[in-house]
Structure 1
């Protein structure tokens, strides 16, 4: 089990191009209006129509219809209740599938992978630096520190960074894995997780699974930025379940952050169990870019039950550019954890790369906390520190 656990939210993928949750549907709508998602336009139209239908809800209740987490949760609940205005149960079921397609296409049209040539596609710089930090914690510290990553993000930026660094992710499904694998536990699913069309079992695919015999992974080039766009989720239906050889269903396994995940429990319970185990053994928990939304009661229970144990928590640090998030975490934590709790960087200096600088200087270089904070505050770009560390 890991001594150091990182918990990543949408803010960690922002620099890679992924939209934050409150902006997600606006970005999706812009992709639709600019005809960049023609292959999935019917799904985008269906989601936007249903989103407009939800606007009538606000006459009698409060619902954030511009927030993808709230809208996705509403669609899932409507599917359970078989009720959404004049929609038939079949329409609602198809709407949930459409929402997953919108999520996948929006992510894969926005997350950018730097490309110097077609044969040289890098991971987004902040994730490349993060994987470098994970490797340093495992190999350069004394004593060495086992690490694990728990993430709420659906995208593949970190998965690809693992791939480029030659590190195998352990998604929590696998019965057998190498000792060198790093737990990468995606609590809300991922665009590369499929459901077997024959047996219904959920299984992860890996970046290497998408490579051709020459080791090349298909991509499209963004003419404006020169960066690459991968289509892991959009090509999920080409991937086979290794147990029975059946293809995956076209919609990936992505689930909303509502407390009621019972419909999905059997499929990804292994992932949540592994996440709880990692939390129970953690001496350090670093939460980056996760805002603890009110809709995610699930995480509150996972944290409360997962951190039960004899391990003394040395650090529970939060890095987030939203100052109000600090109070959310304070309200969630018990007296013991509050003694370990800190918001070590000013909110406006709590970017993903700045958190990495601080943690590298403190945990790997053994720098004094005050000096480590000063070093993080001086950094102006993620590239400036990442180039220095590799």
Structure 2
């Protein structure tokens, strides 16, 4: 069986409206203005970033890139300044969650149900379906079923540099809305007994669901 590993960067999630490293700060400022009470700690993050401009006197850095900012905070954390880093992690999670789209139940009425199946998220859903070698059974939205192909010719794995939960949310959506004959899983722990209905997912920079963010 052939094996393929996909490596995903920020460009994978950006079309869904999630910020990338270069516009993260700008989008978070717009977000802050929508609810200054809920995001009351954001100004502390913005102030910390402004203070970091002193570091540019010692080495070249891009303070519009959120990963470089996180790296500087990581170094400060090693020196005992952990409070700012915790606030910054919460800030990252808030921004990502705010911009993560929700997936609503598809309309079962259109005759061209295939095109309307997942609306503007269609390509992402079919990407997940292909990773799991799912085949779709049924001829309309009311009786669709996903199941594992009888003879898999490929085995897939995913490495992502993103913190978001786009992949996890799409798989959860498929399993919660449609009938699935198999227990499809994104496996994040290496083991010797990976089931045929599971796909390895490695998140190199961490994930917002476990609040582990690595620069």
Are residues 135 and 64 of structure 1, via their aligned partners in 2, closer, same or farther at CA, if it must alter by over 3 Å?
same
Secondary structure at 1:98's aligned position in 2? Answer: helix
Q: If the length of structure 2 is used for normalisation, what is the TM-score? A: 0.75
Which residue number in structure 2 is paired with residue 191 of structure 1?
A: 208
Does the alignment pair 1:39 with 2:50?
Answer: no
Match of 2:89 in 1: 100
Alignment correspondent of 1:255:
214
| TM-score, reference length from structure 1 | 0.43
C-alpha offsets along residues 176-206 of structure 1, whole Å, 9 cap, x if unaligned? 764421111111111112xxxxxxxxxxxxx
CA shift for structure 1 position 60: 3.4
How many residue pairs end up in the alignment?
A: 183
Query: Gaps (5+ residues) in structure 2?
Result: 107-117, 136-147, 176-183
Deviation at 1:116, TM superposition (A): 4.9
Aligned partner of 2:199 in structure 1 is 182
Deviation of 1:2 after TM superposition, in Å, equals: 7.0
Structure 1 vs Structure 2 CA RMSD: 2.7
Point out which structure has higher relative CO (alpha carbons under 8 A, 6+ apart): 2
- How much has 1:96 moved relative to structure 2? 0.8
SS in structure 1 of the partner of residue 125 of structure 2: helix
8 Å CA contact 1:76–1:96 kept in 2: the answer is yes
- Partner of 2:10 in structure 1? 10
Structure 2 counterpart of 1:351: none
What are the residue-to-residue correspondences of 1:306-385 with 2, within 5 Å? none
2:53 to 30, 33, 55: 55
Question: 2:185 aligned with 1:168, yes or no?
Answer: yes
Equivalent residues of 1:6, 1:150 under 8 A apart = yes
| Counterpart contact for 2:103–2:173, Cα < 8 Å | no
- Structure 1 unmatched ranges of 5 or more: 83-88, 194-251, 257-390
Moved over 6 A (4+): 173-176
Looking at structure 1, the residues matched to 190 and 149 of structure 2 have their Cα atoms a distance apart, in angstroms, of 29
Q: Residues 173, 41 of structure 1: CA spacing in aligned structure 2 closer, same or farther, 3 A cutoff? A: farther
Summarize the Cα distance change of 1:32–1:2 in structure 2 as closer, same or farther, 3 Å threshold.
farther
| CA distance in structure 2 between the partners assigned to 1:106 and 1:31 by the alignment | 8
Q: Which has more strand, going by share of residues? A: 2
- Aligned-partner Cα distance in 1 for 2:123–2:157: 17
Partners of 2:203 and 2:154 in 1: how far apart? 21
Q: Is 1:115 aligned to residue 104 of structure 2?
A: yes
After superposition, the Cα gap between the structure-2 partners of 1:57 and 1:141, relative to the gap in structure 1 and judged at 3 Å, is: farther
Question: 1:137·1:144 contact (CA, 8 Å) conserved in 2?
Answer: no
Tell whether the 8 Å contact from 1:188 to 1:254 is kept in structure 2 after alignment.
yes
Tell me what 1:324 maps to. none
